Amino acid sequence: VQASMEMVKALLDGSRNVVVLTGAGISAESGVPTFRGREGLWKNHRPEDLARADAFFQHPELVWEFYNWRRELLSECVPNPAHLALAEMERQIPNFLLITQNVDGLHAKAGSRKLMEMHGSLWQVKCTVCTHVHEDRSTLPELPECPVCGHLLRPGVVWFGEPLVPGVLKVAIDQISKADVFLSIGTSGLVQPAASFYQLAKDHGAVTVEINLEPTPNTGLMDFALHGKAGKILPELVVGM
Ligand code: NAD
Ligand code: APR
């Protein structure tokens, strides 16, 4: 159902338990390209074809080049009003969790603290052989080496076909099961398990709301939908909260 701002505002005003899921769309207005759609292409490769463990082990230089490009692009990006509005929402709602599929770090930069980066972080690197993990914001060589064991380092993100970091899904499910309101913002809803979170929320009695530039495959299954730019809608939702 197409909702009005007033309806969603009233819904949030009466809520103590809110879970928000975000995707690439929330960072689009910060200049971060989304994954799907024409702007998502990189040198004629689809990001979905590069963000994979098998692609990395076949062509590590290509995949590192793609990640270095994303890291450089991101170093110029700052949080937009949508990220800032969610940091404010966290301060107003007693039990709040922001689950993001984004690896850009912009929610943390905007001040969100009750935050789960379920796909990891572009700023993290980890060893492909030993357990070493570290933060690194510099431009990396094409084939960076682990400072501990000398083997190849990889981006600290979750790739297609890989499991999430152990424990992450359980925390997400626990919080979603308790939510009064579940907001899905700027995600195409095509990648599991995040794509099923709204259904879990619904099954446990939450009211579900989609905020997206355009309808998605999940729109008809949500209780309410607001279509437009996240950077315009979210600041309006938190005004006077
Ligand atoms: P999936 O694509 O749903 O992803 C599995 C896990 O990886 C999930 O935990 C998800 O959250 C995470 N994940 C996926 N992509 C990520 C990314 N870019 N960055 C961070 N985290 C990411 O599971 P799957 O089993 O790999 O694929 C599901 C279906 O999609 C299958 O049918 C598969 O064939 C198809 N698929 C096709 C392509 C393709 O290139 N044609 C690529 C991927 C998946
Ligand atoms: N405001 C709101 N929504 C927007 C905006 C905007 N300014 N700009 C774009 N969108 C919406 C698009 O309409 C689209 O539905 O954001 C969505 C972005 O979808 P995807 O590019 O598919 O990104 P996402 O859903 O985050 O992808 C999920 O797939 O490749 C993997 O790991 C990657 O985390 C990513 C996951």
Q: What is the ipTM of this complex?
A: 0.74
Check the annotation: does 24 bind a ligand: yes
Is 214 part of any known ligand binding site? Answer: yes
Q: Do 150 and 233 share a domain, yes or no?
A: no
Structure tokens at 215: 């309808």
pLDDT of residue 33: 87
pLDDT on residue 21: 98
219 burial class (0-12, 13-18, 19+ CB within 10 angstroms)? Answer: middle
Q: Which helix (H) or strand (E) holds 171?
A: helix 168-178
Domain boundary among 134, 157, 180: 157
* pLDDT of the residue at 62: 94
Spell out which residues line ligand 2, taking CB within 6 angstroms: 23-25, 28-29, 34-36, 40, 47-48, 51, 101, 119, 186-188, 190-191, 212-214, 216, 229-231
Residues 125 and 211 in one domain: no
CA distance 87 to 213: 21
Residues 51 and 169 in one domain: no
pLDDT tens-place string over residues 108-129: 999 999 999 999 999 999 999 9
Total number of domains in the chain? 2
Give, in order, the Cα–Cα distances in Å from 119 to each of 41, 159, 165, 218: 20, 8, 8, 21
Q: Binding residue per annotation — 77?
A: no
Residue with CA at minimum distance from ligand 1 atom 10: 192
30 among the known binding-site residues?
yes
Helix axes 81-92, 230-238, angle to 10 degrees: 30
The response to whether residue 192 sits with its C-beta less than 6 Å from ligand 1 reads yes
- Could you tell me the CATH number of the domain that includes residue 168? 3.40.50.1220
Domain span at residue 148? 33-76+120-157
Q: Distance (Å, rounded) from C-alpha 45 to C-alpha 1?
A: 36
175 shares a domain with 150? no
CA 140–ligand 2 middle distance (angstroms): 27
Residue 48 beta carbon below 6 angstroms from any ligand 1 atom = yes
- CA–centroid distance, 88 to ligand 2, in Å, is 22
Ligand lying nearest the CA atom of residue 50: 1
Where a domain ends, among 157, 179, 212? 157
Q: Which pTM was predicted?
A: 0.87
pLDDT of residue 45: 85
pLDDT of amino acid 193: 95
Q: What is the pLDDT along the chain (241 residues), one digit of tens a residue?
A: 888 999 999 999 999 999 999 999 999 999 998 888 767 778 788 888 899 999 999 999 999 999 999 999 999 999 999 999 999 999 999 999 999 999 999 999 999 999 999 999 999 999 999 999 999 988 888 899 999 999 999 999 999 989 999 899 999 999 999 999 999 999 999 999 999 999 999 999 999 999 999 999 999 999 999 999 999 999 999 998 8
Residue 54's CATH number: 3.30.1600.10
